[in-house]
Amino acid sequence: MAEITAAIVKELRERTGSGMMDCKKALAETGGDMEKAIDYLREKGLAKAAKKAERTASDGRVFTYIHSNFKIGAMVEINSETDFVAKTDEFNELGHEVAMQIAAANPLYLVPEEVPEEVLNRERDVYRQQLIDEGKPADRLDKIIEGKLRKYYESNCLLEQEYIRDSDKKIKDLVTALIAKLGENIVIKRFARFAIGE
């Protein structure tokens, strides 16, 4: 087992943003292995993030992004629990990235629950007719349609969209990671996108 020095604890704190006691515990639990300690803290942080998501986020900021051609812009409200977190570089970076995502990917809704039932029914009807025309077996249609609806959510719901800078992450993953890092609930509340001629 590697010796857990103050320098190692400091490095882990800098790399993860976690508290000193949490870093010491993580290193003790993982035998002083830095990478395993980072994984340990991430797992604990994500578990804490799920609990924090129940807390009220009533502070925050409004962020804007205007594309370089001045023809597309976006505005998004992101809430935090405190003004302190709303002023952090990480929070501001998230706001900028989400506003840029909205401008680039043009989501119609924030979450799947916001998609109106009539829109979903129309999509289901279109998918069903396409599948029948393609000769798909009737007993598999519902399962295939549900898969297509998931794709619809991934295209049209902001939190389900692939992050434009990293297709391995969704926008909701960026939010969850920041909740784990900053220790406060963070919520994307609402957004708007503007495009000339639309």
pLDDT tens digit at each of 198 positions of the chain? 567 888 888 888 777 667 777 888 888 888 888 888 878 877 776 555 555 556 667 789 999 999 989 999 999 999 999 889 999 999 999 999 999 999 999 999 999 999 999 999 999 999 999 998 998 888 888 899 999 999 999 999 999 999 999 999 999 999 999 998 888 889 999 999 999 987
**What is the rounded distance in angstroms from the CA atom of residue 30 to the CA atom of residue 170?**
29
Q: Give whole-number Cα distances, 138 to 75, 130, 132, 145, in Å.
A: 44, 12, 8, 11
CB 45, CB 184: distance < 8 Å: no
Identify the pLDDT of residue 2. Answer: 64
Identify the pLDDT of residue 57. Answer: 72
Question: Domains of the chain, with CATH numbers?
Answer: 6-52 (1.10.8.10), 59-110+157-195 (3.30.479.20), 116-155 (1.10.286.20)
